[in-house]
């Protein structure tokens, strides 16, 4: 209600004559004016638009935790202009981020158009890798979704490996970063021991690659000795067969090249494998 309309209302009320009527009229006029002003204030409050809402000008957009502008949010389904915010500001969904940014971990973040290993991503089809297959999956080392490779694939850093895997010796691995004697490994850089030199090599006793020591090095079990070495009773890796079990008729490990004393071989019999001469083995 503008000033002229209010003056006219006041004059109309005054024309009624009595003071009581005048008082009632003024009270009613004030109530009408207050109602009109309150309605306009409520309308002004409700006219603000939230992130992702279609808009025409910046002044329509408002959010309590991020500056909003009226711009393209990269989606065509919701109109050409929407209330959105810049990279680095808080968000709840992709439509609240301007341009082609995505809402990642509650923050608007730009994603490369052709992401490579370790780059942020939204789908696997965009991930490009020159020497290894990539997918868009969760990466534990960064806590978000990136173009990454699975265990055994080539890598250059931890963020390029999916899940809990890390990049060890150029390969994604879920094996412990620090492995002790007898622990599975993929690279010697993982292997750590306090009292002996260990390397990542093939272990015949377990038929896989483990942190192991060579002949003459300290050990605690056969899996801590490389190749076909075993951990002798004195706590050192050795290629000699166990004492008392390498002679004629003793049980032996067919895969162990040093299972029997010189002149005997480990051959198959009905009961299993024993140390015997070539003649006894049918040689």
201 within a domain of the structure (yes/no): yes
Residue-number span of the structural domain to which 208 is assigned: 183-239
Q: Tens digit of pLDDT for each residue in 40-98?
A: 444 444 578 999 999 999 999 998 888 999 999 989 888 999 999 999 999 999 999 99
Please give, one letter per residue, the 3-state secondary structure of 112-181.
CCCCCCCCECCCHHHCCCCCCCCEEEEECCCCEEEEEECCCCECCCHHHECECCEEECCEEECCCCCECC
245 within a domain of the structure (yes/no): no
Percent of the chain with pLDDT over 90: 32
Average pLDDT over residues 181-186: 85
- What's the pLDDT at 33? 44
- The CA distance from 91 to 73, in Å, is 13
Q: Tens digit of pLDDT for each residue in 217-231?
A: 999 999 999 988 889
* 269 vs 128, more confident: 128
Q: Provide the number of structural domains found in the chain.
A: 4
15 within a domain of the structure (yes/no): no
pLDDT category at 241 given cuts 50, 70, 90 is low
- What's the pLDDT at 56? 94
17 within a domain of the structure (yes/no): no
Give the global pTM.
0.43
């Amino acid at each position: 209600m503008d000033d002229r309309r209010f003056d006219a209302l006041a004059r109309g009320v005054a024309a009624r004559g009595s003071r009581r009527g005048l008082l009632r009229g003024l009270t009613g006029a004030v109530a009408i004016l207050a109602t009109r002003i309150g309605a306009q204030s409520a309308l002004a409050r409700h006219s603000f638009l939230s992130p992702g809402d279609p808009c025409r000008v910046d002044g329509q957009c408002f959010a309590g935790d991020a500056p909003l502008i009226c711009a393209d949010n990269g989606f065509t389904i919701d109109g050409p202009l929407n209330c959105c915010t810049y990279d680095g500001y808080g968000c709840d969904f992709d439509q609240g981020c301007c341009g082609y940014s995505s809402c990642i971990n509650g923050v608007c973040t730009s994603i490369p158009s052709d992401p490579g290993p370790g780059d942020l991503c939204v789908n696997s089809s965009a991930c490009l890798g020159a020497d290894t297959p990539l997918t868009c999956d969760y990466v534990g080392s960064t806590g978000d979704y990136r173009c990454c490779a699975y265990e055994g694939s080539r890598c250059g850093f931890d963020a390029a490996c999916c899940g809990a895997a890390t990049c060890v010796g150029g390969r994604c691995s879920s094996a412990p970063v620090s492995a002790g004697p007898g622990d599975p490994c993929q690279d010697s850089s993982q292997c750590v021991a306090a009292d002996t030199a260990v390397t990542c090599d093939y272990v015949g006793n377990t038929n896989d690659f483990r942190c192991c020591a060579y002949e003459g090095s300290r050990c605690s079990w056969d899996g801590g000795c490389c190749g076909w070495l075993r951990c002798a009773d004195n706590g050192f890796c050795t290629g000699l067969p166990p004492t008392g079990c390498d002679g004629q008729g003793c049980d032996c490990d067919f895969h162990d090249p040093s299972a029997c004393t010189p002149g005997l071989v480990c051959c198959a019999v009905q009961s299993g494998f024993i140390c015997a001469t070539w003649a006894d083995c049918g040689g």
